[in-house]
Amino acid sequence: MAPAYKLTYFDVRGVAEPIRFLFKYGGIDFEDVRIKHEEWPQFKEKTPFGQLPVLEHNGKQVNQSIAVARYVAKQVKLVGKDDWENLEIDAIVDTINDLRMKLVQIFFEKDEEKKKTLKETAINETFPYYLTRLDTIVQKNKGHLAVGRLTWADFYFASMSPAFDSFVEGDAFGKYPNLKALRDKINAIPAIKSWIETRPKTAF
Amino acid sequence: MAPAYKLTYFDVRGVAEPIRFLFKYGGIDFEDVRIKHEEWPQFKEKTPFGQLPVLEHNGKQVNQSIAVARYVAKQVKLVGKDDWENLEIDAIVDTINDLRMKLVQIFFEKDEEKKKTLKETAINETFPYYLTRLDTIVQKNKGHLAVGRLTWADFYFASMSPAFDSFVEGDAFGKYPNLKALRDKINAIPAIKSWIETRPKTAF
């Protein structure tokens, strides 16, 4: 039987990786479709807003990676126990995504001189600002990013962490022991460990 | 008795306005705190990540406007009936936010020549691309942005619509009859109509 879920993205980890982590953690089978760049123009027409990833399920199609990750998190029981807990989880995920978006903007900056300055500011100011606060939050939440226990925010963070490492060209979390321990703890979960070892090797 | 919720933001509609619309729709009392720019540096230190809006409730504080709007939507019963419906709602909200972010980036562009080009592309290409698709979605969803009935996605859109009008310096939805009708329908809900008439008048 074909899997009930089909996730289509490019052949990279990118913003689909949190979704893949969550499916793997919950043992939910999914079709991990990775389209080639030459297929993209034709495929783009079939997507809701010209973007990937797209999740297909029961003949329906939906875009937006964080919304999809939240949906999968509900299926694999990695959400909060009430509305306020879910708010705290959602806020942390969006905050990590804010930091990620700042890096993406720098990545796409074409002016090399400007890019260098922006990157220095990001590494010397933006990163420490966010990571110091996130590290304290993990310390206060018994080793997790929200509500004092394992939630999809932890998976969102761990699955995205290699992108931050690439940006700083090293271990982005070396100075942040609580974040580093959390990342390592998620990556050591057997289903995640196995996925990291067997997933397609891609640059980002 | 003081309201159970305190929403702190700048004295503008901005990204807090969807939250205010949802509180007003549900008849939930909240403290609408609007800090002055001269108060911001001192206040910033007290926020989780140096950003507003911040929602306070039961002695807890949380950032991220869309996460807060989703939380309030749950309190006022404007969410989906199952996980997939909530995914569809979340995806539409994030898609409208994507479009908004494109405008924000242009707004902050300092190079006037580049800003002019970016604005032309936004008005001639990006806007029609998104709004044509959103208009069709509203047509297929019985006059709503998701799941065929009133949800917080509709309030998110209507509360943000003046920002789009400002950007195009006119009615951004004039050519999109379904979106225009939806916006007008939300704005005509008595609690919303009354809020629009009595809220502080601000430029954006």
Would you say the ipTM is above 0.95?
Answer: yes
d(CA B16, CA B68): 9
Check whether the bond before A53 is cis (ω within 30° of 0).
Answer: yes
- Strand order, beta sheet including B54-57: B30-35, B5-10, B54-57, B60-62
Q: Are A20 and A199 in contact (CB under 8 A)?
A: yes
Question: What is the dihedral angle through the alpha carbons of A71, A74, A79, A81, rounded to the nearest 10 degrees?
Answer: 130
Of A48, A75, A133, the CB nearest to B133: A48
Question: Chain B partners of A84 at a C-beta cutoff of 8 Å?
Answer: 57-58, 60, 71
pLDDT in tens, A79-110: 999 999 999 999 999 999 999 999 998 998 88
Q: What is the pLDDT of residues B136-191, one digit of tens each?
A: 999 999 999 999 999 999 999 999 999 999 999 999 999 999 999 999 999 999 99
Residues 6+ apart with CB under 8 A from A133: B48, B49
Q: Which of B71, B83, B94 sits opposite A75 (nearest CB)?
A: B83
HSE (side-chain half, CA atoms, 13 Å) at B79: 18
Mean per-residue pLDDT for A31-43?
A: 96
Chain B residue with Cα closest to A61: B88
**SS3 (DSSP) at B64:** coil
A110 CA: distance to closest CA in chain B (Å): 13
Nearest to A133 among B48, B71, B83 (CB): B48
With 0-12 / 13-18 / 19 or more C-beta atoms within 10 angstroms meaning exposed / middle / buried, residue B50 is: middle
Instruction: Express as a percent the part of chain B with pLDDT over 70.
Output: 100
Instruction: With beta carbons less than 8 A apart as the criterion, state whether A187 and A193 touch.
Output: yes
Q: Is the pLDDT of residue A1 over 90?
A: no
CB atoms A63 and B133 under 8 Å: no
Compute the distance between CA of residue A126 and CA of residue B58 in angstroms, rounded to an integer: 30
Enumerate the residues of chain B whose CB falls inside 8 A of the CB of residue A15: none
Domains and CATH numbers, chain B: 5-76+191-198 (3.40.30.10), 83-188 (1.20.1050.10)
Q: Which residue of A has its CA nearest to B72?
A: A83
Size of interface A-B (CB pairs under 8 A): 82
In this structure, the number of other CB atoms found within 10 A of the CB of residue B203 comes to: 7
List CB contacts of B194: < 8 A, sequence separation 6 or more. B24
Report the 10 Å Cβ neighbour count for B174.
11
